[in-house]
Amino acid sequence: MNARTSLPSALLEQLQSIVGEQRVKTDDDSLQTWGLDWTKHFEPQPSVIVFPGTTEEVQAIVKLANEHQIPVTPSGGRTGLSAGAVAANGEIVISLDRMNKVLDFLPADRLVRIQSGVVTEQLQQYAEQQGLYYPVDFAAAGSSQMGGNIGTNAGGIKVIHYGMTREWVLGLTVVTGKGDILHLNKGMIKNATGYALHQLFIGSEGTLGIVTEAEIKLTRAPQDLKVLVLSVPDFSAVMPILHAFQQRIDLTAFEFFNQVALEKVLAHGHAQRPFETESPLYVLLEFEGRFEAVVDDAMQIFEHCMEQGWILDGVMSQSQAQAQALWHLREGISETIAPFTPYKNDISVLITHVPAFIADVDAIVAANYPDFEVCWFGHIGDGNLHLNILKPANLTKDEFFEKCKVVNQFVFETVQKYNGSISAEHGVGMTKKDYLAYTRDVVEIGYMRELKKIFDPNGIMNPGKIFDL
């Protein structure tokens, strides 16, 4: 089926009259580009891409879509990894690309009002220009848009200290699936006047409506960030290390990766081996070292951990360049393992359960697929693990993914056993929806379906994402 031909020509004209002729695209290139996110398993098949410039234009498009009963997919930076922004069923894709302006800044409130098409890095830089800081950061920050971050409640590498996107959103302007414009919470820190509807939109993956503007809180920029990389003998040592540091130091990151991950990054070049001897695990931690006393404290804690045998070796950054080089050992992993066609999972369990969870999954993979290489890394300070299984050279991509589907089942059963989440920060989208019940029980999912009907009675908002109607 050619989805485009199913679009009534009257509708196309109406869309053009809303946003202007040149802002409605139906050429194949555009349909391919804006119909897809970083998830590559799906065939994009939108009907049309529209580029509104205002909340009112978004509203007009959504109303039109309701009249014609045509599905709508909101589209941001398209960096999603769960196919939340993939349009594969003749959707009208509403791209927020043109709505990329910072609207206002209130210094006393440290509050910035933005359109939702503002790119994460653009906001980070804007904050820096004001002498402030927007702390949510992750690999895709150069492309991801704030609307998408809000839709998935994006997390990343600083969550242990700064929390998720949710904590920085003080207000949202949304167009609901029904076509109403709501100005939710209006930037207030304290507002106890009924249900927190903006919280419901955060993490809803565009299934309730479209976020068009947001009020975002900024904070003081951290100074003199120090990075420590530690080699650790086994997982039982990780929790006491975390505990020892957290008792006295406010960590801004606590990440881990295994030897498999480190070797891949080193083999890729542009990185220096941090220690002479190998170790099964590495921990990277970061803190603000603006006061000498804090750095001294960290050294004392480090020595204590060495004495306890929890740490085998360690290195601390002495300059910003060194800090960056150490971060690269962790942040370079995704890029370096990409050629190995990794089978990726983004899961979360309570920190308490991380060691047992990893042991369980390792055992399952080792028993069933002894030739699979497992690359673990993640934000252990918040219980978020990225499980990456690398494709053995002797398997085709299809054979490998077929086997991984079976692993999936095991992994998600283990997630369920530990009351964890099948998607920590990427969202459910289309790729995880079949597994939703491993984390949310059926009664809960029933309530979610009812909620969706309120905001989107015709079921036009990003259908097929999170759950099927």
Q: Nearest distance from residue 437's CB to a copy of itself, in Å?
A: 10
Binding to a copy of itself (CB under 8 A) within 40-59 occurs at none
Binding to a copy of itself (CB under 8 A) within 304-333 occurs at none
Answer yes or no whether residue 38 interacts with a copy of itself by CB under 8 A: no
Answer yes or no whether residue 386 interacts with a copy of itself by CB under 8 A: no
Question: For 53, phi and psi rounded to 5 degrees?
Answer: -115, -10
Q: Which residues, other chains included, contact 228 with Cβ-Cβ below 8 Å and sequence gap of 6+?
A: 284, 285, 286, 298, 302, 314, 315, 316, 317, 326
Rounded to 10 deg, the angle between the 55-68 and 9-19 helix axes is 170
Work out which of 350, 359, 363, 366 binds a copy of itself, going by CB under 8 A: 350
Question: DSSP characters for 402-436?
Answer: HHHHHHHHHHHHHHHHTT-BS-SSS--TTTSGGGG
How far is Cα 68 from Cα 460, in angstroms, rounded to an integer? 10
Answer yes or no whether residue 427 interacts with a copy of itself by CB under 8 A: yes
Handedness of CA 195, 196, 198, 202 (dihedral sign): negative
Work out which of 22, 29, 69, 195 binds a copy of itself, going by CB under 8 A: 195
For a copy of itself, which stretch binds (CB under 8 A), given 27-35, 88-96, 357-365, 425-433?
Answer: 425-433
Q: Nearest distance from residue 152's CB to a copy of itself, in Å?
A: 6
Per the listing, tokens 């529209």 go with: 50
For a copy of itself, the closer of residues 217 and 264 by Cβ is 217
For a copy of itself, the closer of residues 131 and 280 by Cβ is 131
Work out which of 375, 455, 456, 461 binds a copy of itself, going by CB under 8 A: 455
For a copy of itself, which stretch binds (CB under 8 A), given 30-38, 40-48, 324-332, 379-387?
Answer: 379-387
Binding to a copy of itself (CB under 8 A) within 126-185 occurs at 131, 152-153, 155, 159, 163-164, 166-167, 176, 180, 182-184
Question: DSSP characters for 253-322?
Answer: EEEEEEHHHHHHHHHTSS---S-SS--SEEEEEEEE--SHHHHHHHHHHHHHHHHTTS-SEEEE-SSHHH
Binding to a copy of itself (CB under 8 A) within 250-309 occurs at 250, 291-294
Q: Which two tokens stand for residue 319?
A: 């300059």
Work out which of 189, 267, 321, 393 binds a copy of itself, going by CB under 8 A: 189
For a copy of itself, which stretch binds (CB under 8 A), given 20-28, 32-40, 64-72, 443-451?
Answer: 443-451
The H helix count followed by the E strand count for the chain is 15, 18
Binding to a copy of itself (CB under 8 A) within 62-121 occurs at 106-111
